[in-house]
Each structure stands twice: as C-alpha cells, then as structure tokens.
Amino acid sequence: MLIRRAPDITSSEITDEKLYLNRRSFLIGAAALALVPSEPVAAAPPAGQPLPAKRNPAFALEDPPTKLESVTTYNNFYEFGVNKEDPARLAHTLRPRPWTVEVGGHVARPKTYDIDELLRLFPLEERVYRLRCVEGWSMVIPWIGFPLAALIKRVEPTSQAKFVEFTTLLDPEQFPGQRKSLFNFSGLEWPYVEGLRLDEALHPLALLTVGLYGQVLPNQNGAPVRVVVPWKYGFKSAKSIVRIRFVSDRPRTAWEKAQPSEYGFYSNVNPAVDHPRWSQATERRIGEFRRRPTLPFNGYADQVAPLYTGMDLKKYY
C-alpha cells in the first residue's frame, strides 16, 4: 500500500523554474475557467481577496516567513492527489461557498454554522506559526484565524466530551483524489478525519484558520476553514472542515487507519522519535538549503509540554 513516500530531496527542492511553471499553469487554468459562463452560485470570496486581520504579536517568530508562492504551490492535500503540485493545479474545483460546519456531539449547544457566520462571530487575528510536515520539511506561515477554543466554549462541551474529531468534506466531484482510480491511490480512507484530545483542542495555540498572508485562504491550503495545530506534524491540521464533533472515545484518524505504526494519534513533533522509515531529527525549511534541527513540539514546548506530563511520548507518538 502506498502511504507516503520517504522524504526525497529532489521532491522537496522547489526550483524557481518549477515554481514559475506551476504558477503559470495555475493562471492559465484560472483564465480558461473565467471564460466559461458560470452557474449562479453564492458569491464566494475568491482566494487572494484581502482579509484584514491584526497581527497578534504574541505569535510572532524570528524565522522569516516562507515565500507565498511556496506556501500555495507545495502542498499536501491528498483529496487533490498525492503530488505536491496537484493541489495548486486542481484546487479550482473546490467550492468554498456556500459552506457549513456542523458542530455537534457531546455539547449543550450543537449548531451548524454557516462559514460567514463564523467569520462574523469571531474576531480574526494573524499569527505566524511554524508548520512541520512528517515528511521532514517545514514552512513558516502567517495564518489568519481565531482560536479553536473560542468556538468550543460557545458550544459548551458536556462532561462526556473527551476528544474532538474534525472531518473534511467528502465530495468526489470537488476532490478528484476521492474518485476511485488506480492513478490517485493515496492509501487514505475518505473523508479525511483527524482528532485532538479536548484539552489539546482548547489550547490557545490551536487555530481555526481562514486565511494566510493577509488573504482569504487559497483552496489548496484548505479553504474555507482548516485547523492549524503548530506543535504537531502537519497532517493533524485537517483542511476544508465540514464537521467538528465532540466524542468520548479517541477518534480513529485517516492516517492512523492507513498505517498505525507510522502515524500515532498524538503526532507531536518529536526529534527523538523517528518515523519507522526515516529520522525526524532534522528538517529542511522550504527555501533554505541546509537542514536544521527539529525542535521538540516544533519549538512550542514551553507552551504545550504541560499537556503531556506523565505521558511516555515514545509510546504515545
């Protein structure tokens, strides 16, 4: 079963030429689309439209942000295909409006929120976070969103709520990678499901994200709303979320189902616990040449280590 390829240097070297070609085919695709008479659908804020949000200085980083072009053309979004360039090339098929997020399970106030209602309810802020992919590369991204905790508090979890489950949209018409085909076999079961323990989800770093770089979130980055959990490997940060459910039992996540020995539920960034097929001790920041050491909890140990006191993080990887 093809789960994930081992990190290979060539696929993580984005040359400027490749970037340029990707960008160009994306633009040509967009231009061609503009010529097709469109059906009357609710006006979607197009990706790239400005999204004002004040930078929260508590989440500034010294590390320079990764180039916007890299953030939007080098993606993991298996619903569009398993190659890094597939999401940018194909993401125009995703329709981020109209969109609802069903919030339910063990909560006193379950509710299906329209995405625009979420945007009205919670003030947006910009936060610069490191994102570390399990494959051994990382980026620094100025995200725009609001704390996941704000939404959680609003729906009032009951005492039975121990975990939070996130589900990505299931729609093979919008996601070519969800169509059954020999050519896009990812090894994942759809829809993509991820999860956090309730206390992790309530941690102030966990961000419900609707934009980046001062703009509406591009489709390939998980429009219209995705979660960002910066102290965990990137795959915990589920994209294009349609459901958030509060449950008593640990959710079975898409990656855990595919390969439990490689992708544990916790998936905290941990240089001391290797992936079974490669070391996690170092990473390559996209845009840099030399690998740098990977930091425990992706550099957020001061803030999140207390969530795991008493846990053997080699066992709970």
Ligand X SMILES: Nc1nc2c(c(=O)[nH]1)N[C@H]1C(S)=C(S)[C@@H](COP(=O)(O)O)O[C@H]1N2
Q: Is 230 in the site for ligand X (CB under 6 A)?
A: no
Binding status of residue 256 toward ligand X by CB under 6 A: no
Query: Where are the strands (E) in the chain, listed by range?
Result: 54-55, 100-105, 111-114, 125-132, 137-147, 163-168, 193-197, 207-212, 215-216, 226-228, 241-247, 282-285, 292-293
Q: Nearest approach, Cβ of 162 to ligand X (angstroms)?
A: 23
Residue 161 · residue 248 · CB < 8 Å: yes
The count of chain residues that interact with Mo ion, using the rule CB under 5 A, is: 5
200 contacts ligand X (rule: CB under 6 A) = no
Determine which residue in the list 73, 76, 178, 209 makes contact with Mo ion, applying CB under 5 A.
76
Asked if 117 and 98 count as a contact pair (C-beta separation under 8 A), the reply is no
We find the least distance from the C-beta atom of residue 156 to ligand X, in angstroms, to be 27
User: Do β-strands 100-105 and 241-247 pair in parallel, antiparallel, or remain unpaired?
Assistant: parallel
**Contacted entry of Mo ion, ligand X, none for residue 298, CB cut-off 5 to 8 Å set by kind:** none
Candidates 15-23, 200-208, 230-238, 284-292; binding stretch for ligand X (CB under 6 A): 230-238
45 contacts 97 by C-beta, under 8 angstroms: yes
- C-alpha dist (Å) from residue 13 to 17, 136, 150, 210, 295: 11, 12, 38, 28, 22
Q: How far apart are CA 162 and CA 197, in angstroms?
A: 6
Q: Indicate which single residue of 99, 190, 192, 266 sits in contact with ligand X (rule: CB under 6 A).
A: 192
- The reply on whether position 253 binds ligand X by CB under 6 A is no
One residue of 22, 73, 168, 178 binding ligand X per CB under 6 A: 168
Residue 297's binding partner out of Mo ion, ligand X, none, with CB under 5 to 8 Å set by partner kind: none
Among Mo ion, ligand X, none, the one that 263 touches (CB under a kind-dependent 5 to 8 A) is none
Q: How many residues are recorded in the chain?
A: 317
d(CA 228, CA 75): 14
How far apart, in whole angstroms, are the C-alpha atoms of residue 147 and residue 232? 16
Residue from 105, 142, 177, 234 touching Mo ion (CB under 5 A): that is: 234
The reply to whether 77 sits near ligand X by the rule CB under 6 A is yes
Q: By C-alpha distance, which of 180, 165, 127, 183 is closest to 256?
A: 165
Question: Is residue 79 part of the contact set for ligand X (CB under 6 A)?
Answer: yes
Among residues 131, 155, 205, 225, the one that binds ligand X under rule CB under 6 A: 131
Residue with tokens 């689309």: 33
Least spacing, CB of residue 152 vs ligand X, in Å:
20
Binding status of residue 99 toward ligand X by CB under 6 A: no
Residues lying near Mo ion in the complex (CB under 5 A) are found at 76, 133-134, 234-235
Binding site for ligand X (CB under 6 A): 75-79, 131, 133, 168, 192, 221-222, 234-235, 237-240
